[in-house]
């Protein structure tokens, strides 16, 4: 009986410390798992938005490739081709590129760009909530010869700038891609 009175509860204290350490390890692993799950979801959203944008960008390049003569650009994009920097929704002195400004204006892309007409399906058969879009700007004409002045034979390459925009399946992640496409007519 004397021995029972001398115990001071050391086992209880040690077991509580071990329980606290295991609880902290468990909470840390839950936080890490949650973070990794969010990272995987964001990666999936970014990838699907990029894939949608890439499809629309390639469709714009195919449109240029299908032309038998140079299309005529306009500041309104009628006919499918814009003048360089013609799509700028804010013609003021903003130093922000037009494609970033356009993303802040409600429905600008759907009103001014060409929607993707193909079929996009991602993992599980899902498709984007909003169709990806593209628009094409005439960039410049580069002659084959370095001769100055006008010549009757002005052969060269016409350069176009294709800008595509796409969203992921949920419509939360946005991707904007640009390509330069050269065409000889």
Chain segment 130-156, per-residue pLDDT in tens: 889 999 999 999 888 776 666 666 788
- Cα separation, 77 vs 152, in Å, equals 29
- Cα separation, 137 vs 77, in Å, equals 8
- Cα separation, 169 vs 44, in Å, equals 9
Comparing 13-22, 55-64, 83-92, the range with the smallest average pLDDT is 83-92
Say how many C-beta atoms besides its own lie within 10 A of residue 176's C-beta: 18
Does 2 have pLDDT greater than 90? Answer: no
- Cα separation, 59 vs 61, in Å, equals 5
Rounded to the nearest integer, the mean pLDDT of the chain is 86
Q: CB–CB of 17/125 below 8 Å?
A: no
State pLDDT tens for residues 7-59: 677 888 899 999 999 999 999 999 999 999 999 888 888 888 899 999 999 99
Does 85 have pLDDT greater than 80? Answer: yes
- Cα separation, 174 vs 128, in Å, equals 11
Question: What's the number of domains the chain is made of?
Answer: 1
**143: domain range?**
2-183
Q: Which CA distances in Å does 165 have to 27, 84, 95, 136?
A: 40, 18, 20, 12
Helix, coil or strand: residue 115: strand
């Amino acid at each position: 009986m004397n021995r029972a009175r001398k115990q001071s509860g050391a086992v209880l204290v040690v077991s509580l410390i071990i329980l606290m350490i295991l609880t902290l390890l468990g909470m840390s692993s839950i936080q890490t798992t949650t973070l990794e799950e969010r990272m995987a979801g964001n990666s999936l959203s970014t990838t699907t938005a990029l894939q949608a944008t890439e499809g629309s960008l390639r469709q714009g390049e195919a449109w240029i490739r299908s032309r038998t003569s140079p299309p005529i650009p306009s500041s309104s994009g009628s006919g499918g081709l814009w003048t360089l920097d013609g799509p700028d929704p804010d013609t003021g002195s903003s130093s922000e590129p037009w494609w970033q400004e356009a993303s802040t204006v409600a429905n600008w892309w759907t009103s001014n760009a060409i929607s993707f007409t193909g079929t996009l399906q991602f993992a599980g058969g899902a498709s984007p909530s909003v169709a990806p879009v593209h628009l094409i700007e005439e960039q410049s004409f580069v002659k084959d010869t370095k001769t100055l002045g006008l010549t009757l034979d002005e052969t060269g390459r016409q350069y176009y700038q294709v800008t595509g925009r796409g969203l992921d399946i949920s419509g939360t992640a946005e991707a904007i891609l640009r390509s330069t496409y050269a065409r000889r007519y």
